[in-house]
Each structure stands twice: as C-alpha cells, then as structure tokens.
Amino acid sequence: MTYVGDRGVAEDVVQESWLTCVRSLDRFEGRSSLKTWIFGIVINVARSRRRKESRILPFASFWRRADSDEGRPTVDRSRFGSDGMWQSGPPSWDSIPESKILGDETVQQVKAAIEALPPKQREVIVLRDVAGFDAGEVSSLLGISAANERVRLHRARAAVRQALEEYLR
Amino acid sequence: MNCRQVVELMTDYIEGILSTDERARFEEHIAGCDGCRAYLAQMQTARNLAHRLADEPLPESIERELLDAFRNWRRL
C-alpha cells in the first residue's frame, strides 16, 4: 500500500502478485528466501502498474517523479550557521513520554510521511525499514547499487525524521 | 567535521560502512554535540517506527481475497 500510494491500485497489485506467485510457484528454485521471491514478484507487478498509471497521467507523474534531488542536503541549510554548526538544532524528544513517541498516532504520521516520498525513496524505505530486508537484499531486489540504496534510504529516513520533528514539536 | 557534514553521514554510520578514521571523527563530534546526538537518535526512532507499520492489519478486502485464494489452493 505504501509502495504504490493508492489503496485501489494496491489491492489490484496484491491480487495480481498473488496470482503470479501461485502460477509460478513451481519455478521457485529456493535460491532466495521465499519472502524475497514473493517481494520480487510484488515489486515487478507494482512497477509495471506504476508505468501504466503514468502513461495515463503524464503530467501528474512528471511532478511526482521528482527523484532527481539526490545530491541535495537532507537538512535545510538555514538551520546551520556559517560555520556549519547547528543554529536551530533538532529539539530533544527526551521530555516527550515514550507512549506518545511510540503511539499509534505517531506511527500514522510516519505512514503519511512515507507515502509522500518520491517513489524511488519510498520503495527503499518500505523494503528496508517496514519489511525488514537487509541492504544487500534490497539492492538486488531493486537492481540498484549499494551506494544508491544508501542514498535513497538516507533521504527517506531524513524526511520521516523531519515529519516527526514537526509532529512532536 | 561540522554538524552539516555529520547529518549527511548518519545513515552510513548506522549502516556501519564508514572507514575507521571517519567513524572516529564522527563519534568524536557526536560526543560533544547535543544536536547531532539527538538527530542520530531520531533517525533511529524513525526507522523503528517505520518497522511498526509492518504490524498494521491487512485491509479487510485483501485479507478476504487471500483467505479465498488459500481455500481454493487445492483446486488450482
């Protein structure tokens, strides 16, 4: 769901992936874990679905595909002084009760922040942090380099942290 | 290292891929910087909270489809 960003589409993707898994189960060779194999199928189905959607909505997808900011800093420059030290550092969460930080409402904020990410960052954080795959599994599932996987993960986590900072302020 | 550089190394630090020298300089900075220490802890909290999304219940319609599919498994 967090991967394609639309419940109706997500349900279609699950259904189609499920059918693909059932049909091709006899071709599963056990070279990867079953979990990795199933996710590989879901990713392929979701990606081809996303390509299809973006042909229908060329302009929307143009704006949503703003993934090319990978060289930019993840923290607003204005938060640092000219010496590069914090001027407006992150407020400490030490005085916020743990039940608030780990509460369901906070988890929903994280969900919304992940859904708002550019797709390439979203797929990395969903696989790494939500689904719990390790770095090597994610770069091979997505066909990207380890360095690229790390850059996207860093940007995604920084954006989620920023959303939490605003929510917990 | 200043804070602006340190924040961009947070994920490389968490992933354990900094060189020995970079890691030492990173930790030296963090030890004396409340802001960066808070930032690091918050990045880890963000990761842990994201993992909690894995426990979200499936939407009912998907759960029903999966259960149906399992029931029909033998008939396929």
DSSP codes joined into one string, A72-103 = S-SS-GGGB-TTSSBSSPPPP-TTS-HHHHTS
Report whether pLDDT(A67) > 70: no
Stretch A138-158: mean pLDDT:
94
The SS3 of residue A5 is coil
Two structure tokens written together for A83: 């010496």
Distance, in Å, from the CA atom of A46 to the CA atom of A120, rounded to the nearest integer, reads 12
**What residues contact residue B10 under an 8 Å CB cut-off, 6+ apart?**
A154, A157, A158, B39, B40, B43
Stronger pLDDT, A77 or A9, i.e. the higher one: A77
Measured in angstroms, the CA of B22 and the nearest CA of chain A are apart by 17
A121 pLDDT tier (thresholds 50, 70, 90)? very high
* pLDDT for res B61: 67
When CB atoms are compared, the residue of B3, B34, B59 closest to A7 is B59
- B16-31, pLDDT tens digit by residue? 999 999 999 999 999 9
Residue of B nearest to A92 (CA): B38
Across the interface, whether the CB atoms of A107 and B15 are under 8 A apart is answered no
Quick one: which H or E segment has residue A44?
helix A34-56
Say what the pLDDT of residue B25 is. Answer: 97
Give the per-residue pLDDT at B54.
Answer: 82
Predicted TM-score (pTM) of the model is 0.78
Asked if the interface predicted TM-score (ipTM) of this complex is over 0.90, the answer is no
A62 three-class SS = helix
| pLDDT per residue as tens digits for the range A32-64 | 777 777 778 888 787 777 777 766 655 444 444
Residue-level pLDDT at A38: 79
Compute φ and ψ for A82, nearest 5 degrees. Answer: -70, -20
In the structure, what pLDDT confidence band is assigned to residue A129 with cuts at 50, 70 and 90? very high
Question: How is B49-72 classified by DSSP, letter by letter?
Answer: HHHHGGGSPPPHHHHHHHHHHHHT
Say if residues A10 and A42 touch (Cβ distance below 8 Å). Answer: no
Given a cut of 70, whether residue A24 has pLDDT beyond it is: yes
The alpha-carbon gap from A151 to the nearest alpha carbon of chain B, in Å, equals 8
Report, as an integer, the average pLDDT of B10-16. 96
Indicate if the pLDDT at residue B76 is higher than 80: no
For A118-125, what is the mean pLDDT? Answer: 91
Chain B residue with minimal CA distance to A107?
B49
The residue of A14, A26, A130 whose CB has the most chain B CBs within 10 angstroms, and thus the best one to mutate to test that interface, is: A130
User: What is the C-alpha to C-alpha distance for residues A75 and B54, in angstroms, rounded to an integer?
Assistant: 27
Mean pLDDT (chain B) is 87
Task: Say yes or no: B67 contacts chain A, CB-CB below 8 A.
Answer: no
Nearest Cα residue to B45 out of A129, A60, A44: A129
| Cα separation, B36 vs B65, whole angstroms | 47
The verdict on B47 touching A (C-beta cutoff 8 Å) is yes
